[in-house]
Structure formats: C-alpha cells, structure tokens
Amino acid sequence: MRKSLMAGNWKMHTTREDACRLAEEVMKHCPTFADREVLLAPPYTAIAAVAETVSGSDIIVSSQNVCWEEQGAFTGEISPVMVKDAGGSAAIIGHSERRQLFFETDTLINQRVKGALDFDLMALLCVGETLTERESGQMLNVLETQIRNGLAGVRAEQMARVVIAYEPVWAIGTGKTASKEQAQEAHAFIRELISKLFEKNVAEQMRILYGGSVKPTNVDELMAQPDIDGALVGGAALDAESFGRIINYQKN
C-alpha cells in the first residue's frame, strides 16, 4: 500500500517569520493517520527556520529546486548539501514554472534529479502538458518525453526516493482543475510507463501526485482515484485551514 504524500509548495511567498507561523498552524492539522505524509517546501531563505519549527514531527521539509553539484561557481543555485544542512530532505524539480518561465530543459532537470538522488534527497519530479499540447493530442507524448528524459540514468534502486507530480500546466494557478477522470488517465499512463522503464514493482510502489488548483472542494474525489497518491498544492497551501482540509482528505 502506497502512503499518500500531501505537499505544500509555498513558491515565492513568506518571510522567515511568516513561514514559521504557517508551519506551526499546519502542524495543528497534521493527521495521526499512518497512511499519509506531509511535505512543506518553503523558499530557500526559510528552509532552516521551518525545519527547526517542525522538528520532532514527521513533516518533510523540501527545497523548491536544487543544483546537481555539491559546490562550485553556480551563482544563484543551492546545492543538495546546502539543502540538507538547512534541514531539508527533499527537492521539487522541474516544476512547470521553472520550465516555462526560466526555460529549464529536460537535460537540466535530469541533472538536478540525479544530483538530488546522489545526495540522498527525495526528488519530486514535476511533469505536465500545456493546454495547446493537450488539445492537439500530444499530452501522452509530452509526459513520456519529460519522464524518459527526466529519469535518464537513474537506477532502479534509486527510484524509491523519486516521486512524480503530474501537473497539467493549464491547471496551475488558474482555478481550473483536471477532472478526476483526466487526472486518473495521466497517472495510470505514468505508472505504466515507469513499469516499462524500470520494473513492475517499482511502478507499483511509486507515488504519483496530482497538482493543479487542488482545493478542499476537489481533493476527496481526486484522492479516490486508484493511481493518485497525493497532491502538490500551491495557493491553497498558503492557508493553514485550507491545506489542513486537503491533508485530511476523506477516503471514499
């Protein structure tokens, strides 16, 4: 049985004080259920403060990106060692905003994934199609290309620390959400692809999250789908009450 992962991506929001306050409020909503985990991804400047705030809890602290090198002349980057030193144990990689706004390629994203794994971080690899790609029938091709390229060179034994987040670009921050059927179709395709790239047991154990305007009003129906193992939440994660409801989704 796959343990669900409810992840909050705070993006470029919160000062250290704000982040600690939000983390404290989220902790009040964290379940005692053994079947789910919670992850918080504050901005780099607040990773250490949030990690200290949630110390002693089971909350996972993540960075929102990560470099592939331990150190070096990479102005503006943060290394896996720095993430771990700040108290983080995971990294979001390949988010659509990194792909669309900062032109990160599959090759660069693959370097980041392998760098995270080499330093024992959990790697949350984000994939997803644009509205044009979906409407032109290219969705599955786009997902396959992003996943094949993003996981190139990753060994089967490393896949236990890989989480894939399916985020249709057209649903991120727009208020639009893929229907439960659309989301399930994409997740099932991803799981089948992983079984082909690695092994069936790797695919069966892999957690695949849905991201794209996840809200308290739609989380239950999304989480009822057999191949959806959690959520990567943006805007709603900045409100402790809303994120708390998402964390405590109701099983159907």
CA torsion through residues 228, 24, 34, 220, sign: negative
Q: Which helix (H) or strand (E) holds 63?
A: strand 60-63
How far is residue 24 from each of residues 21, 155, 241, measured CA to CA in Å? 5, 37, 12
Cα 198 to Cα 214: distance, rounded to the nearest angstrom: 29
Q: Which pair of tokens denotes residue 173?
A: 């921050």
Cβ atoms of 176 and 210 within 8 Å: the answer is no
Q: Which pair of tokens denotes residue 249?
A: 């989704």
Question: If you write DSSP's letter for every residue of 110-174 in order, what string do you get?
Answer: HHHHHHHHHTT-EEEEEE---HHHHHTT-HHHHHHHHHHHHTTT--GGGGGGEEEEE--GGGSSS
User: Which residue reads 């692809």 in tokens?
Assistant: 193
Q: What φ, ψ does residue 183 adopt, rounded to 5°?
A: -65, -45
Render the burial of 201-231: b for 16+ CB within 10 Å, e for the rest: ebbeebbbbbbbbbbbebbebbbebebbbbb
Q: Any idea which residues carry the catalytic annotation?
A: 95, 167
